[in-house]
Structure 1
């Protein structure tokens, strides 16, 4: 998923093998896995990145609230849009937010018991696309790029007075690699401990803050990078507005192209998308190693396709039309685990603002009809099949738990039932979905209006069967109680 950051969207918000599914609903899918292997330079699987892991599976081995348990929800109001909520090995959530007033990127350390902010640290303001995509390293430090184009490692610790503080524990300038007027859109560690980064204008690089070495590759002119990147033992995946890449690094860390696959980008940006091209952060998945395949969704018109490639060779396994029942367009990273891929539609989603240079949409407008699809890669790898397709109105990036066999998201409902209309009064509900059928098995009302808008941001299943979900104005905490 990509959440448009203030500098780009003037703050859209105003701003181990996994376990087989158990204790899920009747008919729940089982045996999802394996997920991508653990990256030794990232935090816990499922909570270290916006998309769960460095392979961007959007899946987790952690279970959510138990079926039948009473649910509570609480909103921590931070006067900020909070697209990134991560949880370290110590159990403390770290949120990277951008203030509504002042558009200042700010890190918050949250109390795991109730979600309130224990400490905050403002970062240098600028064209901060890195203020959305960040990750936790193996020492629970938040790794991000600030507006001064510095690669930061931000830790947290107790103070002498018994409170908490956030502090910069490492800094490496990327100013020599990221041109003026450009900004980092995504970053992820590789298996050698280097940090890969990508910029909006098509620079891909590696940074080693142990040695200070920074190496870059400029992708073809006109190819922009509007989503984050993903890393696996076999390489780094980058999706530009024209093509999907697998990159590797030379002995000195210089990026090089292993393969490139162009996709159908359609006649223009679709309503409910933020750029002219794929809305996907590329996702590694597969039944053998967890990274056998790589997938994105194209921007073909009128119907988008799920594209699956073999990671090693770049050979295309399939191109399957998805989101046929609802609006056919997606700004979100797919969920993928084992042989299964799930795609949520965002066509027509009413973002408050669009990024500079987004251009007109084609068509000029569209209703938020919703859409959710499941595609399975055949066991013999000979192709893929559409399993189900519906009109679920997901307002967040869904997350699959392989522990309990449920997909979790937030649904946006119309004020007038039975319509596709949207308004600032729309109600939002937490929802659990059976991945075998696409059916909603439980919901809980969260609230109505702008402050509860989850704006296609990713939710995180945290330890203790808790779900943390960013909104336009803070963080929701959904738990048993």
Structure 2
């Protein structure tokens, strides 16, 4: 695989090995520790690593859980006849999956058996837009928190009935219709440190909802700015990236949102192939080597070469702008991974999505090859700028995740039927892959399936407490695990 590296990768690896030797730790453990700290735990969210699509409310895409153990791997599919972008797990170890059925496209919640992966219960929600309801999170009471097509904030709990069978039901509901106009839909939501739920809509409404008091407050971004990805929360505030700019917002005592700062980015001339909106495809990511949240980062949408933009969370001051995805395609629909001083970015340029939102607009060019691409950027220790560490053409077909327990990046790769080409087809093979974050090289992989039934569609994977890797696909959920590991938690 073509790769571009700097001395930074070698230096990082050497430092990790020195730490390992000094502390008597295995190299993998020392390497994992270099990607800490993660953002602080949000007391109103479930377990870090499994509570949100991006692991935590800071959207770091980190997990404190180790993946499948050493040795051989098995891959099994739970067929749900649905695209399943959101696989979350609460403190009880039961996976809760938010899916959109192929037929009818009514968002449906599934509770999975942690031993077999089969659906134990399901609950249909009110239908909304294509991206409405994709983002959800597990709260501190193991309830799926989501906004459905009726513009209601729902807390969906799973409970056993008198016969011991599982049921999913709406435990709590709060209408947001007073602040969200009809025809608009929530695209992202996350709790803050006061227990309020922040939300953002496709139409650019940013608000807070407190279902303890019934209070809903909101503001609207400047005309023409839309929000097509999720939002992130940290103790300093709530980060939102619109189709024009990145914001940090805070709220007054009554929950009314206020803009702390705004930073515009290069959004290019149009939507790119392999993206679902015209603008950055990033859910903004909090990261940093001291608190885990002193920096905020997104990838822009510049026409020829995209760049990673890093800002100081406190002020919005630019830290650096570094060109990324140089060997692959210049565009990303995925949230970056933020880990200590390191950021990892995956390209989706040219990815053949079967559908895009109706308001996405035409892409320029109309289509492109899926070259792939994965880059690592490190912020300098003194905060004076950033450096590209390595850059390659791995064809990630999922949102990569990084484990701080075993020090490995994980994703699903989409291989071409004809090796060495940039082609895509309905017969492409897909494989789970573990990647060394120091070098960008694949260290282990396992085929998950062949053909479009196994398309992971740039959706996020989740590692369960027992090491099983769950990956949503266009038709259900794939589980990858070591055969010697127990199936359940």
TM-score, structure 1 as length reference:
0.94
Q: What is the match of residue 46 of structure 1?
A: 49
- The answer on 1:363 being equivalent to 2:365 is yes
Cα distance change on mapping 1:32 and 1:135 into 2, 3 Å = same
State the Cα distance separating 1:356 from its structure 2 match.
Answer: 0.6
CA contact (8 A) 1:24 1:406 kept: no
Select between 350-359 and 220-229 the one with higher mean Cα deviation: 350-359
Which among 188, 191, 195 is matched to residue 189 of structure 1?
A: 191
- The answer on 1:37 being equivalent to 2:40 is yes
1:166-186 Cα distance to aligned partner (Å, 9 max, x none): 011000001111101100000
Q: What is the match of residue 242 of structure 2?
A: 240
Distance 2:219 2:377 in 1: 34
State the Cα distance separating 1:361 from its structure 2 match.
Answer: 1.2
1:304-356 Cα distance to aligned partner (Å, 9 max, x none): 00000000000000000000001111000000110000000000000111211
State the Cα distance separating 1:25 from its structure 2 match.
Answer: 5.8
Q: What is the match of residue 312 of structure 1?
A: 314
Q: What is the match of residue 68 of structure 2?
A: 65
State the Cα distance separating 1:163 from its structure 2 match.
Answer: 1.1
The residue correspondences of 1:331-410 to structure 2 (distance < 5 A) are 331-410=333-412
Q: CA RMSD in A?
A: 1.3
Q: What is the match of residue 282 of structure 1?
A: 284
CA contact (8 A) 1:96 1:107 kept: yes
The gaps in structure 1 that reach 5 residues or longer are: 1-19
CA contact (8 A) 1:128 1:147 kept: no
Q: What is the match of residue 55 of structure 1?
A: 58
Q: What is the match of residue 108 of structure 1?
A: 110
State the Cα distance separating 1:95 from its structure 2 match.
Answer: 0.2
Q: What is the match of residue 251 of structure 2?
A: 249
State the Cα distance separating 1:127 from its structure 2 match.
Answer: 2.6
The gaps in structure 2 that reach 5 residues or longer are: 1-18, 484-489
Distance 2:288 2:376 in 1: 15
Q: What is the match of residue 154 of structure 1?
A: 156
Distance 1:395 1:440 in 2: 14
Q: Describe the SS at the equivalent of 1:131.
A: coil
Q: What is the match of residue 269 of structure 1?
A: 271
State the Cα distance separating 1:126 from its structure 2 match.
Answer: 2.5
Distance 2:372 2:89 in 1: 29
State the Cα distance separating 1:66 from its structure 2 match.
Answer: 2.0
Distance 1:195 1:128 in 2: 22
Select between 452-461 and 26-35 the one with higher mean Cα deviation: 26-35
Q: How many residues align?
A: 461
Distance 1:134 1:342 in 2: 23
Distance 1:181 1:167 in 2: 26
Q: Describe the SS at the equivalent of 1:267.
A: coil
Distance 1:401 1:229 in 2: 22
1:390-443 Cα distance to aligned partner (Å, 9 max, x none): 000000000000100000000000111111000000000000000000000011
State the Cα distance separating 1:131 from its structure 2 match.
Answer: 1.7
CA contact (8 A) 2:32 2:403 kept: no
1:8-43 Cα distance to aligned partner (Å, 9 max, x none): xxxxxxxxxxxx997666995642111000000000
- The answer on 1:120 being equivalent to 2:122 is yes
Q: Describe the SS at the equivalent of 2:453.
A: helix
